[in-house]
Structure 1
Amino acid sequence: MKGFVFHGPGQASWEDVPDPGVKEPTDAIVKVGMVSICGTDLHILRGDVPEVPPGTVLGHEAVGEIVDVGSDVRTVRPGDRVLVSCITSCGRCRFCREGRYGQCLGGGGWILGHQVDGTQAEYVRVPFADLSVHPLPAAVPSEVAVLLADIFPTAYEVGVLNGQVRAGDTVVIVGAGPIGLAAVAAARLYAPERIIVVDLARTRLQAARRLGADVVALAGEDPRTLVDDLTGGLGADVAVEAVGVPASFELCTQVVRPCGHVANVGVHGSPAILHLENLWIRDVTITTGLVDTYSTPTLLRMAAAGRLPTAELVTHTFPLNHMAEAYDVFAHAAETGALKVVLGADRHEVAIPMT
């Protein structure tokens, strides 16, 4: 089969790799129908995630069809259409029993495209299949379902729920990439008074408006003053960091009010300064986290009911074997206008980007 293989910082290619097979009785083999590229994949290619060994097939988001299962798999069978979660779960360790699947001690957690071969291939082996794939209702198309593998659970759990967004809050989201935009949609579920989105790109701010942001601001146009003006100098109740660079994290700590919450979602590849000399007296809560995906079944039901505005996020589609081209488009989002890029085995044309 073919897969997109990481060979070291700045090096990856679509090439022949061995077909996966069942290794453990809890495994499932999935024929990949649709995958997406995550910002974390870009971090890996840049060398920001050094624990990923060369030779690894990248990717941790997919929709596909079960083609084989191990003897202990009970919840899915060959022929089932499934969502492959970005997180796998042994279901037995302390953290899995607490619903903290991202911290699994039993061989799960974020392993696809990280510690084992991932989803950006024609087939993928999924460990712990009973807890790590989700049967898909016919009402949820693949283009929607693949967004629930990672970005929507991440934005919802690590951003909105960790940040404790409540009705009437002022929420500032720094970063209008796919995660930040999903956070806009997820935050709206809690009826905040206003959502303010900050980004460097006007096109992404326009997308944030379409998804429900009340106010948008370019990062270079003094968003701190804007937040102060809108809140009477109090600051944001919740600030969500959705970029993963020091400046965006520090901005979140500057715009949050006393007793507010900073929810860091971004994947950081370099240190950020934590100004405790300013924060200690303000009772600010800072959370970090890897998504656990405990919310995926809930989000799937919402998607089936048409409650999640997913259509705005997919701007480009490619055939599965155009992986290098798709990465290039996604990596140069400022020029291409890319938000979420998806690739499908049944895709034969590159879609025209949305404007």
Structure 2
Amino acid sequence: MKGFVFHSPGRSSWEEVPDPDIKESTDAIVRVDTATVCGTDLHILKGDVPEVRPGTVLGHEAVGEIVETGRDVHTVQPGDRVLVSCITACGRCGYCWERTYGQCRGGGGWILGHVIDGTQAEYVRVPYADLSVHALPGTVDSKDAVLLADIFPTAYEVGVLNGHVRPGDTVAVVGAGPVGLAAIATARLFAPERVLAVDIAGTRLEAAKSLGADAVADPGEAPEQLVADLTDGLGADVAIEAVGAPESFELCTRMVRPGGHVANVGVHGKPVTLHLEDLWIRNVTITMGVVDTYSTATLLKMAAAGRLPTSALVTHTFPLDRMEEAYDVFGRGADTGALKVVLGGQQHEVVAVRAAGERM
């Protein structure tokens, strides 16, 4: 089979790799129908995630069909169409018992495309399949479902829920890439008074407005002053950092009100200055972390009911074998207008929907 392989910072390629095999009785092998590229993958290619070894197949988001399972997999079977979660959960360790699956100590957590081969390939081995894949209803299109593997749970859990967005809040989202846009969409579920988006790309600010942002600003347009003007000088109740850069994090800490929340979602590859000399007296809460994906089942129900604007985030589609082109387009999003790129998904979609209809 072929997969997209990381070799070293700045070096990667779509090439022949060994087919995955069942290694543990809880594994499943998934034929990848639809995959996507994440901002975290770009950080890996830059060398920001040194745990990724040369020779690793990248990717941690996919939709596909189960083709083989270990003897201890009970919730899915060959032929099932599934969403592959970005987080793997053993279900037995203390963290999993607390639904903190991203910190799994039983061999899970974020492992796909990180410490084991990932989903940007024709086939992928998924450990602990019972808790790490989700059966998909036929009504959810693959290109929509794949966005629920990572960006929507990440935005919702690490941004909106960790930031404690509440009715009547002012929410500032710094970074209107895919995760930032998903944060805007899911923050709206909690009826904030207003949502402000900050980004350097005009196309992304337009997308933010279409997804419910009440005001937008370029970093050069004094977004701190805009927030102050909108809140009688107090600042945002919640500031969500969705870039992963020192400047964007520090901007969030300057925009948040006393007693407010800064929810860091971005993956940082450089040290960030934490200005405790300014923040300690303002009772600011700062949260961060990897997604746990405990909300995936709920988000899937919302997507099936048409309550999530997933399709609005997909701007480019490619066949799987054009992975390198997809990376290039996604990595130059400011120039190409790319929000989320989706690969594959055309061939098996009709079959999956028909099969679901036949079972009904």
Common fold, TM-score beyond 0.5?
A: yes
Aligned amino acid, residue 297 of structure 2: P
Whether 1:43 aligns to 2:76 is no
Percent of residue pairs bearing the same amino acid type: 75
Cα-to-partner distance string for 1:152-187 (whole Å, 9 max, x where unaligned): 000000000000000000000000000000000000
- Residue aligning to 1:325: 325
Matched, 1:166 2:170: no
Partner of 1:27: 27
Deviation at 1:291, TM superposition (A): 0.1
For 1:185-224, list aligned pairs within 5 A: 185-224=185-224
- Aligned counterpart, 2:133: 133
Structure 2 gap ranges (5+): 348-360
Which amino acid in 2 is paired with 1:173?
V
Deviation at 1:345? 5.8
SS in 2 for 1:44: helix
What letter matches 1:8 in structure 2?
S
Q: For the residues of structure 2 that align with 1:311 and 1:284, how far apart are their CA atoms?
A: 35
Spell out, residue by residue over 1:69-121, the C-alpha distance to the aligned partner (whole angstroms, 9 max, x if none).
00000000000000000000000001000000000000000000000000000
Q: Is the partner of 2:311 in helix, strand or coil?
A: coil
* Distance in 2 separating the partners of 1:2 and 1:27: 20
- Residue 277 (structure 1) aligns with: 277
Structure 1 counterpart SS, 2:232? coil
Paired letter, 2:18: P
Q: Equivalent residues in 2 for 1:138-153 (5 A)? A: 138-153=138-153
Aligned to 1:4: 4
* Matched position secondary structure for 2:166: coil
Q: Could you tell me which residue of structure 1 aligns to residue 111 of structure 2?
A: 111
Q: How far apart are the structure 2 equivalents of 1:139 and 1:324? A: 30
Distance 2:3 2:92 in 1: 31
Alignment partner, residue 176 of structure 2: 176
**TM superposition shift of 1:124:** 0.1
Structural mapping, 1:233-252, within 5 Å:
233-252=233-252
Letter in 1 for 2:91: G
Structure 1: unaligned runs, 5 residues or longer = 348-355
Question: Separation in 1 of the partners of 2:234 and 2:218?
Answer: 21
Hey, what does 1:57 align to over in structure 2?
A: 57
Cα gap change, 1:157 to 1:73, in 2 (>3 Å): same
SS at match of 2:183: helix
Aligned partners of 2:142 and 2:345 also within 8 Å: no
TM-score (normalised: structure 2) = 0.96
**Cα distance, 1:336 vs. partner?**
0.3
**What secondary structure sits across from 1:220 in the alignment?**
helix
Deviation of 1:311 (Å): 1.5
CA distances 1:214-252 after superposition (whole Å, capped 9, x unpaired):
000011111011000000001000000000000000000
The Cα offsets for residues 22-76 of structure 1, whole Å up to 9 and x where unpaired, read as 0000000000000000000000000000110000000000000000000000000
2: CA distance, partners of 1:10 / 1:194: 40
- Paired AA for residue 132 in structure 2: S
Paired position in structure 1 for 2:121: 121
The alpha carbon displacement at 1:346 in A equals: 4.0
RMSD, aligned α-carbons = 0.6
Q: From the superposition, tell whether residues 238 and 213 of structure 1 become closer, same or farther in structure 2 (CA, over 3 Å).
A: same
Counterpart in the other structure of 1:289: 289
Q: Which runs of 4+ in 1 moved over 4 A?
A: none
**Counterpart amino acid of residue 337 in structure 1:** G
Q: Which amino acid aligns with 2:3?
A: G
Q: Which has the higher helix share?
A: 2
Q: Please give the alpha-carbon distance, in whole angstroms, between the structure 2 residues aligned to 1:296 and 1:18.
A: 30
Aligned residues: 347
- Measure how far apart 1:310 and its partner are: 1.0
